[in-house]
C-alpha cells in the first residue's frame, strides 16, 4: 500500500463520516462532493487507477474538508467574540461552496450581531422576524444568545440556551438543575466540550472558581473569554474585589472584542453573588467537576502538546532515514543490521538487545505512517494520564514484552515495527479509564474505554486477516502496557497529591 492509497482511504472514511453526519444535522462540507469522493476512491482503488484516486482526494479536500475546517474556525472565532473574524472565515468557505444556503445564514447571523454591537440594532431585529417567519428557530436562538437577549431565552425550547439564560438572569439553581437534566443522558467530556458556555455558566454562577479555570484551559478559550468567566466565578464566590478587578480590565481594554466587553460591563452592573444550591443542584455541580477532571486526563489532544509522543515519532523517522541511507527501507539485511528480530526456518533466533530495537524499525513507508498515526492518536492521552515517566515506562515495557512474545511464539522471519508499543499504550489507556482515581466511574472514562475496546477489536480482526502481522508481538505489547499502567497507578499515582478541580 503506497501513501496515495492511504490518502484515498482517509478520503473515503471522511466522506462517509460527512454523509452520516448530514443525516443528523448540518455539515459545512458538500454531501455531493463527499459521495463522489467516496465513489471515485472506491473505483480507483478497485481498478487501480491513480487518476481516479487523486480526483477522490482533491474532491474531498476542496469541497468537504476545507469548508468544514473553515466553518469550524469561524464558529470558534464567534465564540471568542471576534465576529468580523468569523464572517471572514465563513466567507472563505462560501468561495468553495457558493450555493451553501446554511453557510450564508451563519454569515448573516454574525454580520447582524456585529452591527448590533456597533449600535445598529435594526438588522438584527429584522433578521430575527424573518427567521421566525421562516421557521428558522435554531438560528433565532443563536442570534438571541449572541445579542444577550436572556429574557427571551429563559423559556426557549432550546434547553441549553434556556439553562444559560436562567443562570444569567440570577435563577442559578434552576439553571444548574436544567443543565443536569440536559446532560444526564450524555454527561461526559465530549458533551461538556460541545456545549461550552452552557456547561461553563452553571459552574461560574455557582462560584466554582477552580472548575471554571480548568474548563477554560481544557476548552482552550481565548484570553478575554476565559477572563470573563473567571471574573464571573469570583463574584459569585464572594471574592468581589478580585472579580471587579478581573472584569474591569476587560471593560477598559479597547482590544477586547465587543461581545466580551459588553458582557463584562453587564456583570459589573448586576454582579452575581453567592448562591445557596439545593442537593440536586450540588449533585450536578459535583458531576460536572468530576467529568472535567476526567477530561483533563482522558480527552483527545493535539500531538504537539505531548513532547514524549512527538519525540518518539521523530525517533522513528530518524531510524527510518538510517534504513534508507544504509541499504533501503525494505531490505532485510539492512533491518537485521539495525536491530530487527529474526527467527529462521529451523527455529534459530536472533534476539538479545533486538527485543527492544526492533520497535524503532519499519518496513516501508506505509508501515511507518500507520504506526506513527497510532502513536500520535493514543500517546497524548496516555502521556497526560500517566505522566511522561509513566508513559515512557509503559512504552519500553510493551516493546520488550512484545519482543519476548515474538521470541517465544513468533513465526519465522524478520519482525520490526512500533505496533507492539502502540498496543501497549492502548492497553494502558483502558487501565487508565478503569483504575485511575481521578477518572474511575465517570462517563468520560467509560467513553474512552469503549473507544479503546473498539480499536482493539478492529486490530484483532486485522491481525487475524493478515498473516504478516505479528499477533504475538501485539498481544505481548498489550499485556505489558496494561500491567505497567496498573502498577504505575497503584504505586505512583495513588500516592501522589490529588490534582484537578475541587
3-class SS letters over 289-332:
HHHHHHHHHHCCCCHHHCHHHHHHHHHHHHHHHHHHHHCCCCCH
- Does the CA dihedral 191-383-362-459 come out positive or negative? negative
Residue 2 reports pLDDT greater than 80: no
Residue 130 has pLDDT above 80, yes or no: yes
Residues 407 and 457 grouped into a single domain: yes
Per DSSP, the three-state class of 208 is coil
Let me know if residue 499 belongs to a domain.
no
Ramachandran class of 169: left when φ > 0, alpha when ψ lies in -120 to 50, beta otherwise: alpha
Instruction: Give the per-residue pLDDT at 205.
Output: 94
pTM, two decimals, is: 0.83
- The answer to whether residue 501 is domain-embedded is no
The reply to whether 502 falls in a domain is no
Do 280 and 320 have their domain in common?
Answer: no
Q: Within this chain, do residues 133 and 250 fall inside the same structural domain, yes or no?
A: no
Q: Is 458 a residue whose pLDDT tops 80?
A: no
Label residue 256 exposed, middle or buried (CB < 10 Å: 0-12, 13-18, 19+): buried
pLDDT at 452: 84
- Position 379 in a domain: yes
pLDDT at 496 over 70: no
Q: Whats the size of the chain, residue-wise?
A: 502
Q: What DSSP character marks residue 256?
A: S
- β-bridge mates for residue 341, sequence order: 415
Same domain, 292 and 308: no
Grid cell for residue 403: 519482543
Closest-CA residue to 287 (of 219, 192, 162, 172): 192
Residues 136 and 159 in one domain: no
Task: Please report the pLDDT score of residue 470 as a whole number.
Answer: 82
Residues 343 and 459 in one domain: yes
Does some domain include residue 468?
Answer: yes
pLDDT over 70 at 497, yes or no: no
Q: Cα(236)–Cα(230) distance, rounded to whole angstroms?
A: 10
How far apart, in whole angstroms, are the C-alpha atoms of residue 453 and residue 143? Answer: 41
pLDDT in tens, 66-93: 999 999 999 999 999 999 999 999 999 9
- Residue 499: per-residue pLDDT: 45
Domain-ending residue, one of 140, 164, 183? 140
Q: How far apart are CA 309 and CA 488, in angstroms?
A: 18
- Of 106, 140, 174, which marks where a domain is finished? 140
Assess whether 258 and 382 both reside in one domain: no
Examine the domain organization and report whether 214 and 351 are in the same domain.
no
- Confidence label for 237 from pLDDT (cuts 50, 70 and 90): very high
What was the pLDDT predicted at 342?
Answer: 85
Taking the C-alpha atoms of residue 62 and residue 408, their distance in angstroms, rounded to an integer, is 50
Same domain, yes or no: 347 and 487: yes
What cell numbers appear for 20 in the block?
Answer: 452520516
Work out the percent of the chain whose per-residue pLDDT is above 70: 94
Domain at 381, CATH number:
1.20.1540.10
Number of domains making up the chain: 3
Q: Collapsing DSSP states into helix, strand and coil, what is residue 22?
A: helix
319 phi, psi to nearest 5 deg: -65, -35
Asked if residue 500 belongs to a domain, the reply is: no
Domain housing 441: 304-493
Between residues 351 and 245, the one the model is more confident about: 245
498 domain residue, yes or no: no
> Do 171 and 95 reside in the same domain of the chain?
no
Give residue 23's pLDDT: 62
Q: Give the helix/strand (H/E) hosting 342.
A: strand 341-343
pLDDT above 60 (res 326): yes
Q: Report how far residue 196's alpha carbon sits from residue 214's, in angstroms, rounded to the nearest whole number.
A: 13
Contacts of residues 27-32 at CB distance under 8 Å and 24 or more positions apart, as own/partner, are 27/68, 28/67, 28/68, 28/70, 28/71, 28/72, 28/93, 28/97, 28/100, 28/102, 28/103, 29/63, 29/64, 29/65, 29/67, 29/68, 30/63, 30/64, 30/67, 30/97, 30/100
Averaged over 292-310, what is the pLDDT?
Answer: 89
Where among 278, 298, 318 does a domain terminate?
298
Q: What distances in angstroms separate CA 56 from CA 38, 60, 94, 328, 408, one per listed residue?
A: 7, 6, 21, 31, 44
Whether the predicted pLDDT of 455 surpasses 50: yes
Average pLDDT over residues 452-476: 79
Contact criterion met (CB below 8 Å) for 382 and 295: no
**3-state DSSP call for residue 413?**
strand
Are 227 and 208 in the same domain?
yes
Q: What percent helix, strand, coil does the chain show, rounded to 5?
A: 75, 0, 20
Q: How high does pLDDT run on average in the chain? A: 89
pLDDT score, position 500 = 42
Give a yes or no: residue 145 inside a domain: no
Whether the pLDDT of residue 268 is over 90: the answer is: yes
Whether pLDDT at 442 is above 80: yes
pLDDT of residue 346: 60
9 and 124 in a single domain? The answer is: yes
Reported as a pLDDT band with limits 50, 70 and 90, residue 348 is low
pLDDT band at 382 (very low <50, low <70, confident <90, very high): very high
Amino acid at each position: 500500500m503506497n501513501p496515495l492509497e492511504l490518502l484515498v482511504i482517509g478520503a473515503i472514511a471522511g466522506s462517509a463520516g460527512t454523509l452520516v453526519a448530514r443525516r443528523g444535522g448540518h455539515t459545512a462540507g458538500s454531501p455531493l462532493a463527499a459521495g463522489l469522493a467516496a465513489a471515485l476512491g472506491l473505483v480507483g482503488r478497485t481498478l487501480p487507477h491513480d487518476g481516479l484516486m487523486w480526483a477522490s482526494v482533491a474532491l474531498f479536500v476542496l469541497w468537504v474538508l476545507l469548508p468544514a475546517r473553515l466553518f469550524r474556525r469561524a464558529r470558534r472565532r464567534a465564540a471568542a467574540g471576534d465576529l468580523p473574524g468569523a464572517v471572514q472565515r465563513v466567507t472563505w468557505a462560501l468561495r468553495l461552496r457558493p450555493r451553501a444556503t446554511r453557510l450564508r445564514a451563519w454569515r448573516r447571523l454574525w454580520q447582524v450581531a456585529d452591527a448590533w454591537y456597533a449600535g445598529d440594532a435594526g438588522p438584527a431585529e429584522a433578521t430575527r422576524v424573518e427567521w421566525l417567519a421562516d421557521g428558522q428557530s435554531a438560528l433565532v436562538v443563536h442570534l438571541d444568545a449572541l445579542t444577550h437577549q436572556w429574557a427571551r431565552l429563559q423559556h426557549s425550547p432550546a434547553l441549553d440556551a434556556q439553562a444559560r439564560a436562567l443562570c444569567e438572569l440570577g435563577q442559578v439553581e434552576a439553571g444548574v438543575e436544567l443543565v443536569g437534566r440536559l446532560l444526564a443522558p450524555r454527561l461526559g467530556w465530549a458533551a461538556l466540550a460541545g456545549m461550552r458556555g452552557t456547561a461553563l455558566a452553571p459552574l461560574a454562577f455557582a462560584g466554582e472558581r477552580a472548575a471554571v479555570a480548568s474548563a477554560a484551559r481544557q476548552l482552550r478559550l481565548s484570553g478575554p473569554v476565559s477572563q470573563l468567566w473567571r471574573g464571573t466565578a469570583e463574584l459569585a464566590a464572594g471574592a468581589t474585589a478580585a472579580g471587579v478587578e478581573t472584569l474591569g480590565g476587560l471593560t477598559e481594554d479597547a482590544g477586547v472584542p465587543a461581545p466580551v466587553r459588553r458582557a463584562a460591563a453587564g456583570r459589573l452592573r448586576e454582579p452575581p453573588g453567592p448562591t445557596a444550591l439545593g442537593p440536586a443542584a450540588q449533585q450536578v455541580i459535583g458531576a460536572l467537576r468530576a467529568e472535567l477532571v476526567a477530561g483533563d486526563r482522558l480527552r483527545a489532544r493535539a500531538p504537539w502538546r505531548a513532547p514524549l509522543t512527538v519525540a518518539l515519532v521523530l525517533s522513528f523517522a530518524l531510524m527510518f532515514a538510517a534504513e534508507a541511507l544504509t541499504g533501503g527501507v525494505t531490505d532485510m539485511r539492512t533491518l537485521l543490521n539495525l536491530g530487527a528480530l529474526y527467527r529462521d526456518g529451523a527455529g534459530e533466533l536472533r534476539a538479545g538487545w533486538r527485543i527492544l530495537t526492533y520497535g524503532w524499525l519499519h518496513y516501508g513507508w506505509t508501515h511507518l505512517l500507520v504506526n506513527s498515526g497510532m502513536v500520535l492518536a493514543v500517546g497524548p492521552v496516555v502521556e497526560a494520564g500517566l505522566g511522561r515517566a509513566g508513559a515512557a515506562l509503559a512504552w519500553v515495557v510493551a516493546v520488550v514484552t512484545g519482543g519476548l512474545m515474538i521470541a517465544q511464539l513468533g513465526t519465522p522471519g524478520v519482525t520490526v515495527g512500533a505496533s507492539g508499543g502502540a498496543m501497549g499504550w492502548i492497553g494502558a489507556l483502558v487501565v487508565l479509564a478503569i483504575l485511575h482515581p481521578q477518572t474511575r466511574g465517570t462517563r468520560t472514562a467509560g467513553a474512552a474505554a469503549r473507544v479503546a475496546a473498539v480499536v482493539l477489536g478492529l486490530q484483532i480482526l486485522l491481525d487475524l486477516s493478515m498473516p504478516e502481522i505479528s499477533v504475538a508481538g501485539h498481544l505481548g505489547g498489550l499485556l505489558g502496557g496494561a500491567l505497567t499502567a496498573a502498577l504505575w497507578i497503584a504505586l505512583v499515582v495513588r500516592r501522589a497529591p490529588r490534582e484537578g478541580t475541587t
